[in-house]
Amino acid sequence: MASLGPKIEHLIEALRCLPGVGPKSAQRMTFHLLERNRDGGERLALALSEALQHVKHCHRCRILSETDLCLRCSDDQRRKDQLCIVEMPSDVLAIEQATHYKGQYFVLSGHLSPLDGIGPDALGIPQLIDLFDQKTIQEVILATNPTVEGEATAHFISQLAQQRNIPVSQLAHGIPLGGELEYVDSGTLSHAFSGRESI
């Protein structure tokens, strides 16, 4: 392999920590930054150090936040009696953009995955139980991903909530809008058929 010097190769290697970036893309990004966009590179290095230094997790909902309590948790206008539980911070953004939900969130940062050593503690379940025990929450909305692990995590949490007599709901499964019936997978179609709604 033709060498370009250790600093360039470190940068190529370091860029591969980004999701979806392989050796070729990392090399292309390195040349782009060093040949054509050094200002952008400076800004990126600065933004990255700043974010890594100052962005922590919200103490209450565990979303990424620069303050101890995130903007949503410290917003008195939001309902305190609804709690929507999601896997990732990006799910919070998606729900905020798509719905009029004005309650609280709780971010698990993953799903139960015993094989990878991810158990209830890593997902902040003890903290979630504390929230349940404060008795302000009247409804738990489970919005985990519709995967095997997401469903298992949702099932686990729903049991915890039901033990404390908190009603639990889950996002509706069914045919996505704009889809064609022919191309919907059979699991979804069977779910949508058995869960048909009267009109």
Cβ–Cβ under 8 Å, residues 113 and 144: no
Using CB under 8 A as the binding criterion, the count of chain residues that bind a copy of itself stands at: 59
Does position 18 interact with a copy of itself (CB under 8 A)? The reply is yes
Q: 55 or 167, CB closer to a copy of itself? A: 55
Task: Give burial (CB, 10 Å; 0-12/13-18/19+) of 129.
Answer: middle
**Nearest to 171, CA basis, from 147, 198, 189:** 147
Q: Which amino acid is at 165?
A: N
Over the window 89 to 128, marking each residue x when it contacts a copy of itself by CB under 8 A and - when it does not, the resulting string is: xx-xx--xx-----------x-------------------
List 22, 50, 155, 159, residue binding a copy of itself (CB under 8 A): 50
In the three-class reduction of DSSP (H, G, I as helix; E, B as strand; rest coil), residue 175 is classed as coil
- Helix H or strand E encompassing 169: strand 168-170
List 22, 23, 49, 190, residue binding a copy of itself (CB under 8 A): 49
Q: Which stretch binds a copy of itself (CB under 8 A): 51-59, 131-139, 169-177, 182-190?
A: 51-59
Cβ–Cβ under 8 Å, residues 74 and 95: no
Site of interaction with a copy of itself (CB under 8 A): 1-8, 10-11, 13-15, 17-20, 25, 27-35, 37-38, 40-52, 54-55, 63-67, 70-71, 88-90, 92-93, 96-97, 109
